[in-house]
Amino acid sequence: MPASPIAKYLKDKELPKDFESLEKVIIPDSATGSYWGVWFSKSDKKDKHTAELMWCAMGEDPSICDNWCHAEEIDEECRNVLDVIRDVTGISFHSWLYKWKYLLNN
């Protein structure tokens, strides 16, 4: 089964007020050897937004959009960076840790 991008769907009221600034926050994480960030997009549907977990390998230039990829699989090594992302953006992707753990064990 191919992996899907890790994303959360948000309503207007759940979208952080400063999401355009938060989208530019780059979080380096030595445990995963990657830069991490959250990108926001507006859905075609009214009042719907998407917050997508993104990563860029260290050694690549994180200022270039093409160097970023959608996160599709995460494990316990990502817990610390997910904590920082939650603290900075207010959006938690922690539930994906348990989804992947479940899929790998079943």
Mean pLDDT over residues 37-62, rounded?
Answer: 88
pLDDT digits (tens, 9 = 90+) for 62-91: 999 999 999 998 888 999 999 999 999 999
Residue 39's φ and ψ, nearest 5 degrees, are -110, 140
- The domain ranges of the chain are 7-105
Average pLDDT value over all residues in the chain: 86
pLDDT for res 105:
58
